[in-house]
Amino acid sequence: MTQEELIPLMLKKDERAFTIMYDMYSKSLFSVISNLLKETEDAEDTLQEVFVKIWKSIDGYSESKGRFYTWMLNIARNTAIDKLRSKGYNNSQKNLSADNFVHLVDDSNKLTNRIDTIGILEFVKKLKPKCIEIIELLFFQGYTQQEASDELAIPLGTVKTQNRNCINDLRTYLKV
Amino acid sequence: MDIKQYIESGILELYVYGLLSEAENIEVSQMAKKHREIENEIISIEKAIVNLSTSFSPFLSADNFEKIKAKLDFKYSKVIEIKPQNNWSQYVGWAAAVALLLGIGYQYTQLNNTQNQVLTAQKEKTNLQETVVGLKLKNKQTLTALTVIRDEKNAVINLSGQAVSPKSSAKIYWNKETEVVYVDAAGLPEPPKGMVYQIWSLKLLPQLTPTSIGLLSDFSANKEKIFAVEKTGDAEAFGITLEPAGGSKTPTMEQLYALGKV
C-alpha cells in the first residue's frame, strides 16, 4: 500500500490503516528517536506519544506541505528533541562523531530480524565516514544545512550535494 | 528549469528529511506534481532512507503497538463500505436482536434458578451423609457394648461407690481366658476438667498391690461409657480413682470412686 492510498483511510480513522502505517514506519521512526534518546524507556514513551500525535493530527496534514513520511519524521524528531530538553540530557553528548546512528546496532543484539539488515549493516561499514556523519546530522538529528556545514567544517554549498552522493551510494546498494 | 540539474542539486533529499522551509516545500511538491521524474526520485530517496533507518532500529517490543492502539479512537475496525439498507430489513434486524436478548435473559434466569436448586440439593446431601456417618459410629459403639455385656465368658464385677462419691458405681467385664477387660462407667459422674478416671487391678495378698490398667480418656465423647482397658490375668479386685490428666503411678486413695472384689 502506498502513502497515497493510506492517507484517505487514515482520515477515516480506519484501524487497519493505522496498523499498516505502523508496520511501515514505526521502526524507521524508532531508530530516529532512539538515536536522540539513549534510554530505551524514554524512546518507547516518545514513540507512543508520536504515533498518538500522528493519529490525532492527521487532519492537519496536507500533501502540499511535503511527504507524509516527512511529516511523521518531523513529529518524531521534534517530540524526541522536546523530551531531550525536558530531561536535561547532556547536549554535547550527541555530537560526538563516534556516537551516531551506527551505534544503535552495536548497542543491541536484539536487532530486528530482517534478512537484509545484516547486508545493510555491512554496507554502512563500507560507507565513507563523512557519509555517516552527514546522514546522522541531517536525517537523524535534523540539523539545518548551515548547522551541518559548521559542525563538519565543509562549505555550505556542498552539504546538499555530498548528502546526495551518499544517498546515491545507498540507493545503488538497495537498488531503489 | 533543468529537471536533471534540479534533482542533482540534492534538494529532494532535504525535502524528504524535512529540512526545507515551508515555501521550499510547496515549491518541491508542485514540481513533483508536474514532473513524474521528480516524483519518482522523491519516492526512491524516501525508500532508501526508510530502509536505512528501519535497519538500524533497536528491538521494538509489540507492547508499544498495543499501548498506542489503546489510546486511539478507531471508527472502523475493518474497511467495509456501509451501504444504505431499506427500513424493512433494519426493523427485522432490531426485532430479532430484541427477541434474542429477551431469550438470553430468560435462559439466564432459568440457569440461575437451576444452579440454586443444585446447590441446595448438594447441601442436603452433605447433611444427610454426616448424619449417616454419625449413626454408623453410634451403632458400632452400641454393638461393641452389647457384645461385651452378652459374652458369657465374661466375669462381671460390680464396683460400688466409695466415701468420696457414695452414689457412684461401675462394672468390670473381665474375660479370664483372653484377659480382656472392659469398664462400664455409666455410673460415674463426668470427671472435672483436667482430671481423668484411672482403673487399677488390685492384688490383695500378701499385701495390697495396685497396677494401673488404663485411663478412661475421652470420657464425655464415649456415649456408651464402655471402655476397653489393658489386659490383666491375676486381679483380685478392681478400683477406680480420679487422677490428674495423664494418670498417676500410684492411686490417690482419697479419690477412690469405686471398688469391687472379683
CB B50 within 8 A of CB B60: no
3 state SS of A37: coil
Let me know the angle formed at the C-alpha of A53 by A137 and A5, rounded to the nearest 5 degrees.
90
**With helix as H, strand as E and coil as C, how does B210-256 read?**
EEEEEECCCCCCCCCCEEEECCCCCCCEEEEEEEECCCCCCCCHHHE
CB–CB of B44 and A139 under 8 A?
A: no
List the single best residue of B26, B52, B61, B78 to mutate versus A (max A Cβ within 10 A): B52
Q: How far apart are CA A147 and CA A134, in angstroms?
A: 11
CB–CB of B55 and A117 under 8 A?
A: yes
Q: What value of ipTM does the predicted structure carry?
A: 0.90
Statement: residue A35 has pLDDT above 80? yes
CB B55 within 8 A of CB A116: yes
Instruction: Read off the pLDDT of residues B208-230 as tens digits, 9 standing for 90 and up.
Output: 889 999 999 888 888 778 888 99
Shortest distance between the Cα of A169 and any Cα of chain B, in A, equals 10
**CA atoms within a 13 Å half-sphere pointing along the CA-CB vector of B222:** 20
Let me know the angle formed at the C-alpha of B65 by A107 and A122, rounded to the nearest 5 degrees.
30
Instruction: Read off the pLDDT of residues A73-108 as tens digits, 9 standing for 90 and up.
Output: 999 999 999 998 887 765 544 444 447 888 776 544
Statement: residue B122 has pLDDT above 50? yes
Q: What domains, with CATH codes, occur in chain A? A: 1-89 (1.10.1740.10), 95-176 (1.10.10.10)
- Which cell numbers hold the place of B59? 528491538
Nearest to A70 by CA among A11, A136, A138, A131: A138
Using a CB-CB cut-off of 8 Å, the residues of chain B touching A18 are: 69, 72, 74
Shortest distance between the Cα of A5 and any Cα of chain B, in A, equals 13
| Across B56-68, average pLDDT | 89
pTM above 0.90, yes or no: no
**Beta strand B226-229 pairing with B195-203:** unpaired
Tell me A140's DSSP state: I
Shortest distance between the Cα of B119 and any Cα of chain A, in A, equals 47
CB A6 within 8 A of CB A58: no
A152, B178, B234 from B247: Cα distances, Å: 102, 25, 22
Tell me A14's DSSP state: B
Using a CB-CB cut-off of 8 Å, the residues of chain A touching B10 are: 160-164
pLDDT at position B237: 92
